[in-house]
Amino acid sequence: MMQGLLRFTLDLFQPGPDAAQAQRPKTKPQPQPQPQPTVAAALRHPRASREAVLHGTLVGYEIKRRKRRTIGFSVGAEGLAVSAPKWVPLYEIDRAVQCKSGWILKKLDETRERGARLEAARIDWRDGAVFPFLGQPVRLRLDPLAAHGQLDRPCLEAAGAVGGTLHIALAVSATHDQIRDAVKHWLRAQATPLFTERLDHFAPLLGVRWRKLSLSSAVTRWGSASASGAIRLNGRLVHLSLPLIDYVAVHELSHLRVMDHSPRFWATVAEVLPAYADLRRQLKDEAVCRW
């Protein structure tokens, strides 16, 4: 009886669990970390000043302030560049990038794939190297006693282009640059008469006259034409097959009739090359080594 009374008295003065909880010092609740978007890859322009996560890919892009009315996008070997008017705030540029995300990622993927193909097409200029000429492989032989730039098989036959072995009058000890420059000189020497022949073939069919041909070494542009009749064709076209060379020649000659890319222009191209669309797609997929 006495023990029960003592326990009752102690219970009256001992704080319960709620009181103990109240006596603990209150701590400020810590903010929970926000989940970050999962990033599968990162593609950064070397001069990137802004970043965006596009469908799991972190894209760093360069912003160029220009005198223009709208926001523009361009994707090149370095990555994404965004051109925007000076008065457009950054948050609007960010929103525009998100809205254009599908197109941006598609172009970035295409550019990476093309870069990989270009790397694969890189030529190690040495004795025995193989390079494309008119769509066919040609093996390079260095022979100081050979006639300079001698191809041991004809470069063109009735059935089209054939490969062979090109003998260059250089010692086997020649440097990479010496060999490359010698082959480049030979290729350009083949390009001028070949391009002239193809322009002369198609010009009457299109009812136009061209006046001057020059060779370019542009990285991405295969040709151009001016209203004066001057035509520039990329010398590296000699690496490609004859149908693709013909497409570029017809394309530029057609500009002597129509100086834009309107439906009328493409109808002009189709007059002599009905299958031009297939050739155009093939040309876009070509990866030719740079000179």
Bridge partner list, 109:
none
Mean pLDDT over 107-117 rounds to 81
From the list 91, 54, 84, 55, the residue with the least C-alpha distance to 67 is: 84
Assess contact for 223 and 251: CB atoms under 8 A: yes
| 91 vs 26 pLDDT, higher one | 91
Q: How far is CA 207 from CA 194, 196, 243, 257, in A?
A: 20, 16, 20, 8
The mean pLDDT value of the chain amounts to 82
Mean pLDDT over 136-148 rounds to 82
| 7 vs 253 pLDDT, higher one | 253
Q: Is residue 209 part of a domain?
A: yes
Mean pLDDT over 146-152 rounds to 60
30 pLDDT exceeds 70?
no
Q: What amino acid is encoded at 266 in this protein?
A: W
Residues 106, 134: one domain? no
Q: What residue ranges in 8-126 does DSSP mark as E strands?
A: 41-44, 50-54, 57-66, 72-76, 79-85
Residues 146, 173: one domain? yes
Q: Is residue 275 part of a domain?
A: yes
Domain harbouring 165, CATH code? 3.30.2010.10
| Nearest-angstrom CA–CA distance, 129 and 180 | 10
Scan for tokens 């073939």, then name that residue.
Answer: 201
Residues 88, 150: one domain? no
Q: Is residue 3 part of a domain?
A: no
Scan for tokens 């978007």, then name that residue.
Answer: 37
| Nearest-angstrom CA–CA distance, 97 and 51 | 10
| 210 vs 14 pLDDT, higher one | 210
Q: 3-state DSSP call for residue 235?
A: helix
Residues 83, 158: one domain? no
Q: Is residue 61 part of a domain?
A: yes
Domain that holds residue 158: 130-285
Share of the chain above pLDDT 70, in %: 77
User: 40 φ, ψ to 5°?
Assistant: -85, -25
Bridge partner list, 82:
63, 73
Residues 113, 139: one domain? no
Mean pLDDT over 39-48 rounds to 76
Residue 8 has a pLDDT of: 43
Residue 155 has a pLDDT of: 41
Number of domains in the chain: 2
Confidence of residue 76 (pLDDT cuts 50, 70, 90): confident
Residues 103, 53: one domain? yes
Residue 87 has a pLDDT of: 93
pTM value > 0.75: no
Residues 140, 116: one domain? no
Q: Is residue 270 part of a domain?
A: yes
Q: Is residue 261 part of a domain?
A: yes
Residues 72, 207: one domain? no
Assess contact for 98 and 52: CB atoms under 8 A: yes
From the list 18, 58, 24, the residue with the least C-alpha distance to 39 is: 58
| 11 vs 43 pLDDT, higher one | 43
Of 20-24, 130-134, 204-208, 258-262, which gets the smallest average pLDDT? 20-24
| 29 vs 53 pLDDT, higher one | 53
Mean pLDDT over 32-59 rounds to 75
Mean pLDDT over 257-278 rounds to 94
| Nearest-angstrom CA–CA distance, 232 and 212 | 8
Q: How far is CA 62 from CA 19, 68, 88, 169, in A?
A: 61, 16, 15, 47
For residue 62, give both structure tokens.
């360069």
Residue 158 has a pLDDT of: 32
Confidence of residue 33 (pLDDT cuts 50, 70, 90): low
State pLDDT tens for residues 150-200. Answer: 565 544 333 344 568 888 888 888 999 999 999 999 999 999 999 999 999
Share of the chain above pLDDT 90, in %: 54
SS3 content of the chain, % helix, strand, coil (to 5): 40, 25, 35
Confidence of residue 43 (pLDDT cuts 50, 70, 90): confident
Burial of 119 (0-12, 13-18, 19+ CB in 10 A): exposed
State pLDDT tens for residues 199-256. Answer: 999 999 999 999 999 998 887 789 999 999 999 999 999 999 999 999 999 999 999 9
Residue 156 has a pLDDT of: 39
